[in-house]
Copies of this chain bind each other. A is one copy, B any other.
Amino acid sequence: MARMGIKQIAALAGVSIATVSRTLRNPEIVSEDTRKKVQKAIDESGYKPNKLGASLRTHRSGNVVVIIPDVTDPFNSGIICAIEQQAQKLGYSVLLGDTQNDEARAKQYAEMAEYGQADGIILFSHKLPFDLDPNKTVLEQIPPLVNASEATEHDELPKVLVDNYSGACQATQHLIDLGHKRIAVITGPFDTNSTQERLRGYKDTLFNAGIAYDEQLVCEGDYQLDSGVNETEKLLLLKNRPTAIFCFCDDMAIGSSKVLKENGYDIPNDISLVGFDDIRYASYITPTLTTVRQPVAELGRIAMLQLHQILNKSVAEQLTVLPLELIVRQSTGPVKN
């Protein structure tokens, strides 16, 4: 098909290019007669207006880049999916920025906004992918950005988060209620806000129940399957073993459960197990996994909405914190004496 431009359509319809553009964007301001003429020309030629031309002129690409550590993680892919749904509703397209946990790549993707390829960024990371000049404010140095799920240290950035503290409290309290006193945790990286908050919830809840905090029971994972395996192996070596393990994500819990089962432990009779996220498989593994459900769809939806508001200069919530809910399933049970 011969590449048609607005010029050709104008010629075909016998009007100016301005009129063609108006027919497309503001049909109401062009008279019905000419509108029809133009529409006919468009239909007959199969004209598709070039978005690049428009974007260049309007300074709006209509794209947002989502910077996320790993699409392969079901928690992340769930969010991406939600963002995309909402993006489509609002007329945006999603540029996928899977960083593979690599800072350099995150920077590359962040630059897309500076190069005009994207209008804004949704960032899932505790680290801002920009080289900042400490003499200037953060906001004046970066493109429109919403910080989601994992918080950076910059309070001036709009954020959509989840109540990690409360989530961890609920999970820990649930275990305490079942009589557990030696509750281990397999965390995410210590330098992430999510892990810090969850850890705080864990500690506070233990403290309130009068249970001494034991550093041996705190293992640093990295939110990936294998670290669930590795850290659980370490825990089982302890002379005084935990009676429950609280993993800061479901993937690690799945890794943990594998090790436990392989070594002959029964879940939950020998050891209780709690996850975090409630990925789709949490209710399909054996035993089904008690976990803290994250409102993935809501998180993605709101993040995109917020970015949209920022891009339109309409006031946006500066900070949204979504509640978390403990889903009790079969992997937790009363402690055995």
CB distance B95 to A93 under 8 Å? yes
Q: Which of B72, B81, B285 contacts A98 (CB 8 A)?
A: B81
Q: Which of B52, B77, B85 contacts A52 (CB 8 A)?
A: B52
CB distance A116 to B80 under 8 Å? no
Number of interface residues, chain A, beta carbon within 8 A? 50
- Shortest A285–chain B CB gap in Å is 6
Q: Which of B96, B105, B115, B261 contacts A51 (CB 8 A)?
A: B115
Residues in B whose Cβ lies below 8 Å from that of A93: 95-96, 112, 117
Residues in B whose Cβ lies below 8 Å from that of A114: 48
Residues in B whose Cβ lies below 8 Å from that of A220: none
Number of copies of this kind of chain in the complex: 2
Alpha-carbon distance between A280 and B224 when the two chains are bound, in angstroms: 11
A243 within 8 A of B: no
A242 within 8 A of B: no
Alpha-carbon distance between A56 and B52 when the two chains are bound, in angstroms: 6
**Chain B residue with the shortest CB-CB distance to A82:** B72
Alpha-carbon distance between A112 and B77 when the two chains are bound, in angstroms: 22
Residues in B whose Cβ lies below 8 Å from that of A108: 88
Interface residues of A in 83-123 (CB under 8 A from B): 84-85, 88, 93-96, 98, 100, 105, 108, 111-112, 114-117
22 A–B pairs (Cβ distance < 8 Å), ordered by A: A48-B115, A48-B116, A50-B56, A51-B116, A53-B116, A62-B117, A71-B80, A71-B81, A71-B84, A72-B74, A72-B81, A80-B96, A93-B95, A93-B117, A94-B96, A96-B96, A225-B280, A257-B284, A258-B284, A261-B286, A285-B285, A286-B286
